[in-house]
Chains A and B, each alone.
Chain A
Amino acid sequence: MMQLAVLSGFALAAFAPLFHRWFGDRASFVFAAYPAALALWFLNQLPAVMAGETLVLAMEWVPSLGMSLTFVVDGLSLLFALLVTGIGTLVLIYAGGYLKGHPDLMRFHLAILAFMVSMLGLVLADGLFTLFVFWELTSITSYLLIGFNHTDLEARKSARQGLFVTVAGGLALMAGLAMLGVAGESWSLRELNAMGDVLREHDLYTPLLICLLLGAFTKSAQFPFHFWLPNAMAAPTPVSAYLHSATMVKAGIYLLARLQPSLGGTEMWTVTLSVVGALTMFTGAFLAIRHTNIKKLLAYSTIMALGTLTMLLGIGTEGALIAFVTFLLAHSLYKGSLFMVAGILDHETGTKDVTAMGGLRPLMPITAVVAMVAALSLAGVPPLFGFIGKELMFESVLEASAWRWLVLLLAFSAAILTIAVAAIIALRPFFGQRRQTPRVAHEAPASMLLGPAVLAVLSLVLGLLPVLAGSGLLTAAASAVAGTPVEVKLSLWHGINLPLLMSLVSLALGYLLFKRWDRVRARLALLDPLISRGPEAGYDALMDGVVVVSEWQTRVLQNGYMRNYILVMILTLIALIGNSLLLRHAPQFHIALDVQFHEVVVVGTMVMGALFATISRSRLGAVVSVGIMGFSIALLFILFSAPDLGITQLLVETLTVILLVLVLFRLPRFSSLSTPLERVRDVAVAGSLGGLITLLILTSWSIDQFVPISDYMIANSAPLAHGRNIVNVILVDYRALDTLGEIFVLALAAIGVFAMLKLRAPEKPKKSAPAKENADG
């Protein structure tokens, strides 16, 4: 029933408007109770999971297709679930202060709760289908959250960019998961993780890995897909603190970690992940120091952290996996805290530019302390938890097997740059000369301080007492990633060794960089033309290309002329049927003419009707002859004892007449618009389709490739479905899902007619206006 508890969040999201009416701005605290309760439940599972147990909450969804809603709570899932619910609680409380009085607060709660549920489902799912559904849901809900300020063009553009990049990755992921399921002959992650040897040897291993990596890399903003993450900073800060530090962007990382036991360890995995990770790490850290916007600084440093995590998974040794879980936890704590601090600064001073702030420490003492603690953890200074993470990271890089020196170089430079970033965030706004900010700064309200303070304190406590995290949760998490039991022993003091030396050197160099930051930034500005030609330019070119292609195909294929649509559809049909009928299976049939006289008469009438309709020179004549054809078909149905079809055909014909009566007088004068050449073309197209369908029917009549299912349906319609009218039983029972789809199509058609006739847009003064709006709106 845990599933229902998690999914009930969707219901809570749906009722968000109601809660807002009841509780007003205090609704945030009500909503925060939901993740808080779940967090308590997960904490309650901690002892069992720490003892090495895996909690399996089985629940069926569509068993006939192998879909299950089963949730699995092992170390890795639990770590993520605790982050999602724990930070979620803090972020909801924080958002209550940050967005206080915002007219759209309700919409924010709706989207963020839906996101929370999706993210939880993603990290708990055992079935590949469930995983994918929740994965896509996080993409959609995060689109709504990034574009929260929907009147802002920039926010809309960024939201769309994030959506396109992650959903394109999602498409690759779908292909990858499908291949994974086929290769492992299972749709359960638990079962797949137990058969790593089979999967790694499988022929599909390379393509499926490529697809899965594409999905994970786009979601987790790995190079060269990193550009959407900084742009996503258009979101309100609580969203960034939640989605872009601890949860959504780590979904890709989660997937990689989850698949580590089944797919990891090959050369392809090791090389791709460690090199891409190291590149991402360096790119993020390098691009960070170019910016003065505090949120962009944090976003790029998040990219650096995501790169680190990927790299550690790529290295894949036991030490690296321990470093992975430690760094993951450390990063979530300090980055969540720092984002919330950035939000406080923005909220209280009215600017996001760190160079415009200064000397804020006396005005906001608590914020200053919180920022300092979190930034020290980001920089990896003892005795904070971030230091342990960084030490372990250096240790693992030193034992990397693939491309060690490149990876080491990139990781070391990234560490230096990160220290500079941490110093910029923690020192620039709070120390130095007091600067005039757009708003007069003062300390933030308690609801906004709670979140960052709790996370910063956790960073400190876990740093001082690493055994708290290490012995329990992280051991279980690392074991889940490794697939075999791993013991995590964390300590602050590792003795004097190479990693410590690297830490000290990077600290010194990083501080130096911070001191010369303004000069370095000016120097780096020279690189701007080069950077503007980075992957984002490729994305823009691609999107422009999509617009051009869709304009072209609309002009050619969907130009608004009915005859054109019909022509395109029929030609497609001819190509598809012709291909499989004539080229792939040779048509084979034997004609055995066994027809009665009255049947010939009916068919003859039908043919005559069709012929006359095409050559008639009056509209009414054509309508009547089409009607004749329709009624002959109905007659044919009745002759071959299909009364239901006959009745339906009759009624549809009647309806057609009614509709024609209604439109007939509104049509322009009947005239022949086709040139003789076009008429020849039309005859050829119509003739080939008719011939092809005849051939198809004759062929399907003469060969029995499959046992017909109609026997089963006839035999079982009365005993199983309690109905003697098989047509109806098929419609409402056997194939009810199809019928459901059909009535939806029918409803859409009706709404389409209504919309086209009733809701006509007022005439636009200029023709070019709508096209441009589509291109960027």
Chain B
Amino acid sequence: MVKSGTIILNTAARLLMPLQLLFSIFLLLRGHDEPGGGFIAGLVAAGAFTLYLFAFGVSATKEVLRMLDPRDLIGMGLLLGMISVVPAWFMGEAFLTAQWWTIPGIDFKASTPLIFDIGVYLAVLGSVLTMVMTLMEVDKDEP
């Protein structure tokens, strides 16, 4: 049903997708201080891939994603979310207590909330992509 798009859409998608993905990572990283965060960033990234999907179809998008099945992204996201719990445990603090480290040299603040947010990002991206791609594939299967 969804055919590959027009030249305008194709060109736009090819140019916009990397920008959108970059923007989503920007949103993800600044989320703790400015509007943004894992959920929003995940939705933006999903939008990027969906645009590409509309322009080039499922198989081309799968090539862009290489080995990554969107369903694996969900799993990775949930796993990251769970892993972010562990450091507090080792520090002898209560479950889910945030831990902060400063990475020397680049003065970047790493933390368990950031790991957690990345987990949210991946889970959201994976979930939305799974839904959209499944719907499109079903279209392809049944004329």
A747 touches B77 (CB 8 A): yes
Q: Which of B93-143 contact A (CB under 8 A)?
A: 94-96, 98, 100, 109, 111, 113-114, 116-117, 119-120, 123-124, 126-128, 130-132, 134-139
Docked Cα-Cα span, A732 to B32, in Å, equals 9
A724 within 8 A of B: yes
Instruction: Chain A residues near B75: list those with CB within 8 A.
Output: 747
CB atoms of B109 and A722 under 8 A apart: yes
Whether a CB of chain B sits under 8 angstroms from the CB of A568 is no
With A648-B40, A725-B33 as contacts: A654 and B113 at CB distance below 8 Å: no
A714-747 interface bits toward B, Cβ cutoff 8 Å, 1 = contact, 0 = none = 0000000111110111011100110110011011
Q: How far is the CA of A757 from the CA of B130 in the complex (A)?
A: 11
A643 within 8 A of B: yes
Contact of B81 among A63, A740, A754 (CB under 8 A): A740
Interface presence of B25 (CB below 8 A): no
Does A268 sit within 8 A of B, measured CB to CB?
Answer: no
State whether B120 touches A651 (Cβ < 8 A): no
Do the beta carbons of B131 and A753 come within 8 Å of each other?
Answer: yes
Q: For the complex formed, measure the closest distance between the CB of B15 and the CB atoms of chain A, giving whole angstroms.
A: 19
In the complex, which of the residues A62, A743, A758 contacts B95, with contact meaning CB atoms closer than 8 Å?
A62
Q: Are B71 and A751 in contact (CB under 8 A)?
A: yes
Q: How far does the alpha carbon of A665 sit from the alpha carbon of B135 in the complex, in Å?
A: 12
Chain A interface helix/strand/loop/mixed: helix
Q: Dominant SS at the B interface?
A: helix
A747 close to B111 (CB less than 8 A): no
Do B74 and A651 have beta carbons less than 8 Å apart? no
In the bound complex, do residue B127 and residue A651 qualify as a contact, i.e. CB atoms below 8 Å apart? no
A524 at the interface (CB under 8 A from B): no
A657-671 interface bits toward B, Cβ cutoff 8 Å, 1 = contact, 0 = none: 011011101100000
Shortest B88–chain A CB gap in Å is: 10
CA distance A607 to B116 in the complex (A): 38
Closest Cβ of chain B to A11, distance in Å, is: 15
- Inter-subunit contact A732/B34 (CB<8 Å): no
In angstroms, Cα B39 to Cα A746, docked, is: 11
Q: Are A746 and B127 in contact (CB under 8 A)?
A: yes
CA distance A648 to B71 in the complex (A): 22
Is B47 a contact of A750 with CB atoms below 8 Å?
A: no
Say yes or no: A651 contacts B40, CB within 8 Å: yes
* A732/B126 in contact, CB under 8 A: no
Judged by a CB distance under 8 angstroms, whether B21 is at the interface is no
The one of B31, B47, B119, B138 in contact with A725, judged by C-beta atoms closer than 8 angstroms, is B31
Is A662 within 8 A of B2, CB to CB? yes
Tell me the smallest distance from the CB of A590 to a CB of chain B, in Å.
34
Docked-complex contact A743 and B81, CB < 8 angstroms: yes
Asked if B8 CB lies within 8 Å of chain A CBs, one says: no
| Residues 634-688 (chain A) with a chain B CB within 8 angstroms | 643-644, 647-648, 651-652, 654-655, 658-659, 661-663, 665-666
**Contact between A750 and B74, CB atoms less than 8 A apart:** yes
Chain A: interface size category: 35 or more
How many angstroms between the C-alpha atoms of A750 and B39 in the bound complex? 15
Q: Chain A residues with Cβ under 8 A from B138's Cβ?
A: 757-758
Residues of A within 8 Å of B111, CB to CB, are 722
Say whether A655 contacts B117, CB under 8 Å.
Answer: no
Given contacts A662-B135, A747-B77, A754-B130, contact A655 B37 (CB under 8 A): no
- B113 nearest CB neighbor, chain A only: A732
Known A-B contacts A723-B33, A758-B134; the reply to A743 vs B71 at CB < 8 A is no
Interface residues of A in 362-388 (CB under 8 A from B): none
Q: Contact: B47 with A651, CB < 8 Å?
A: yes
Decide yes or no: A757 and B109 within 8 Å by CB, A644-B35, A662-B2, A724-B33 being known contacts: no
Distance, CA A663 to CA B139, complexed state (A): 9
How many interface residues does B have (CB within 8 Å)? 52
Contacts of A736 in B (CB 8 A): 84, 96, 113, 116
Beta-carbon nearest neighbor of B142 in chain A: A666
From A643, A723, A732, A733, B120 is in contact (CB under 8 Å) with A732
Query: Is B78 in contact with chain A by the CB < 8 A criterion?
Result: yes
Instruction: State whether the Cβ of A532 lies closer than 8 Å to any Cβ in chain B.
Output: no
Cβ A743 vs Cβ B124 within 8 A: yes
Contact B123 A747 (CB under 8 A): yes
Asked if A18 is at the interface of the complex by the 8 Å CB criterion, the answer is: no
Binary CB contact string for chain A from 207 to 236 against chain B (1 if under 8 A, 0 otherwise): 000000000000000000000000000000
> Which of chain A's residues have a CB closer than 8 A to the CB of B40?
644, 647-648, 651
A64 within 8 A of B: yes
Structural contact, B32 and A728, CB atoms closer than 8 A:
yes
Which one of A651, A725, A732, A757 lies within 8 Å of B135 (CB-CB)?
A: A757
Chain B residue nearest to A662 in the complex (CB): B135
Q: A746-B124, A754-B71 are in contact. Are A731 and B37 (CB under 8 A)?
A: yes
Is B57 on the interface with A (CB-CB < 8 A)?
no
Does A749 sit at the interface, judged by CB under 8 A? yes
The verdict on A732 contacting B37 (CB below 8 Å), with A754-B71, A758-B138 known, is: yes
Closest chain-A Cβ to B123's Cβ sits at a distance in Å of: 4
Minimum CB–CB distance from A721 to chain B (whole Å) comes to 6
Residues in A with CB closer than 8 Å to B55 are none
Please judge, given known A-B contacts A662-B2, A725-B32, A728-B37, whether A655 and B128 are in contact too, CB under 8 Å: yes
B13 at the A interface (CB under 8 A): no
Cβ 8 A contact of B113, one of A62, A721, A724, A757 = A721
Report whether A722 and B32 are in contact in the complex, using a CB–CB cutoff of 8 Å: yes
Residues of A within 8 A of B47 (CB): 651, 654-655, 658
Known: A665-B1, A729-B32, A740-B82. A648 touches B39 (CB 8 A): yes
Distance A544 CA – B120 CA, assembled complex (angstroms): 43
Is B5's CB within 8 Å of the partner chain A?
no
Give chain B residues whose Cβ lies under 8 Å from the Cβ of A666.
1, 139
Q: How far is the CB of A6 from chain B (nearest CB, A)?
A: 18
Q: B-side interface residues toward A, CB under 8 Å?
A: 1-2, 31-40, 43-44, 46-47, 50, 71, 74-75, 77-78, 81-82, 84, 94-96, 98, 100, 109, 111, 113-114, 116-117, 119-120, 123-124, 126-128, 130-132, 134-139
Q: Which residues of A contact B (CB under 8 A)?
A: 62-64, 643-644, 647-648, 651-652, 654-655, 658-659, 661-663, 665-666, 721-725, 727-729, 731-733, 736-737, 739-740, 743-744, 746-747, 749-751, 753-754, 757-758
- Other A-B contacts than A62-B95, A728-B31, 13 sampled, CB-CB below 8 A, are A644-B36, A655-B47, A723-B32, A724-B32, A724-B34, A725-B33, A732-B116, A733-B113, A736-B96, A743-B77, A747-B74, A751-B71, A751-B130
30 A-B residue pairs with Cβ-Cβ distance under 8 Å, sorted by A, are: A62-B94, A62-B95, A648-B40, A651-B44, A654-B47, A655-B46, A655-B47, A658-B50, A658-B132, A659-B132, A662-B136, A662-B139, A723-B113, A724-B33, A728-B32, A728-B117, A729-B113, A731-B120, A732-B32, A732-B37, A732-B116, A733-B113, A739-B116, A747-B74, A747-B75, A747-B77, A750-B130, A753-B131, A753-B135, A757-B137
| List of 4 A-B pairs having minimum Cβ-Cβ separation, nearest first | A750-B127, A723-B32, A651-B43, A643-B35
